[in-house]
Amino acid sequence: MSYNYLKTAIKRKNLSLQTVANACDMTKGYLSQLINDKVKMPSAQKLEALHHFLKLEYPIKNKKVGIIFGKFYPLHTGHIHLIQRAISQVDELYVVLCSDTKRDEELFENSAMSRQPTLNDRLRWLLQTFKYQKNIHIEILKEDGIPSYPNGWSEWSNRVKLLFKEKGISPDCVFSSEPQDVQMYRELLNLETILIDPERNFMKVSGTKIRQAPLQNWQYIPTEVRPFFVRTVAILGGESSGKSTLINKLANVFNTTSAWEFGREYVFSHLGGDERALQFSDYDKIALGQAQYIDFAIKYANKVAFIDTDFITTQAFCRKYEGKEHPFVQAMINNYRFDLVILLENNTPWVADGLRTLGSAAQRKDFQKLLINLLQKNGVNFVTINSDNYDERYLQSIELVSQLINHS
């Protein structure tokens, strides 16, 4: 029996022979001889250890191997349909993520996406989506320097062959939805093509459609990809400005998630419900908790997530109470940017709830100035709602959020 598949698995996982040998309680020399088929009767215990460490099933005789190429920019349900159809017809499937820095930048520049997906974003989407299907393997093909499609087939095929050699991939067929590529796969890679839904009858979607209007094609964006496209709306304001109530209304009407103000919960859970116990060392913990709330809201959002109190507001309170800014909170300001920031004028009736201390007209006005100063200092664009009427605030917010969604 050949154990060459063990060599392939080690290469694919980018592991050194010494690392594998140490983990499986054998010498590097023995492992080298084994994977090169020079051990006639290998130890069953050592084979078991190798399979366990490499997370491999014992090989299937005469197994069929398929391959799929794609940019996955972004991964969508059409891709998933193609991959699931393919894996149902082969024993092992290699999904090759193709990356070209210049081409990918151009795709982004000509899209409606608010930020550019990195190669690691795309790799993560694939790994997360298929993590429970152990016979689906994800590989990366760098296409930089190759003439753009449909040119450059010869150069591209040479790079593909090099990938096959490096990773020990020997495919029997290629799966595709593109009839125009069939001949080139046959001539240059000696692979027969199995076409899956080339007319897009089952899944009428493409990467281009999603890039041009992600939220309008929300139903085609997979669960693991959706957080990348979620639009975030932060609503800011001083104490008793009506943020929390407004966010609750908006999350309900847009049927989505919201991130509540973590600082209020922190005061109850760590400070006995009294802000007088707050000190400088608490602000990083509050910011970290707020970040976790935001991440959770984005992960499960329906197109848009609402954020009650951002890190600039946390920094404003730190400046107000401690007389200085917190570096960790500033780091969070730099890393979390929102698609729409609404600043509520602090002109609604004051409500004392036991956690608010800036109730005088002068204090409310000063804190509002501080918020605006920090927003401008950090280069954050924002829209101010000046009305003191709750219904008008609600309707203005709906209009702003609807514009954000409809243009995404």
How far apart are alpha carbons 13 and 22 in whole angstroms? Answer: 16
In this structure, are residues 230 and 304 in contact, taking their beta carbons and an 8 Å threshold?
A: yes
pTM, two decimal places? 0.80
CA dihedral 336, 342, 346, 349 (to 10 degrees): -110
- 75-122 residue pLDDT tens: 999 999 999 999 999 999 999 999 999 999 999 999 999 899 999 999
Name the residue type at position 146. Answer: I
% of the chain surpassing 90 pLDDT: 68
**Per-residue pLDDT tens for 335-363?**
999 999 999 988 766 555 544 455 566 77
Distance of alpha carbon 3 from the chain centroid: 37
Peptide bond into 150 cis (omega under 30): yes
The amino acid sitting at 401 is V
Across 55-69, 257-271, 374-388, least confident range: 55-69
Query: Using CA atoms, how far apart are residues 156 and 187, in angstroms rounded to an integer?
Result: 13
CA-to-CA distance for 127 and 122, rounded, in angstroms? 9
Chain segment 136-194, per-residue pLDDT in tens: 999 999 999 999 888 999 999 999 999 999 988 999 999 999 999 999 999 999 999 99
- What pLDDT is stored for residue 253 in this prediction? 97
DSSP track, 46-88 = HHHHHHHHHT-PPPPTT--EEEEEE--TT--HHHHHHHHHHHT
| Average pLDDT rounded to a whole number, residues 321-329 | 95
Spatial distance between the Cα atoms of 123 and 117, rounded to a whole number of angstroms: 10
- Residue 121's contacts (CB-CB under 8 Å, 6 or more residues apart) are 228
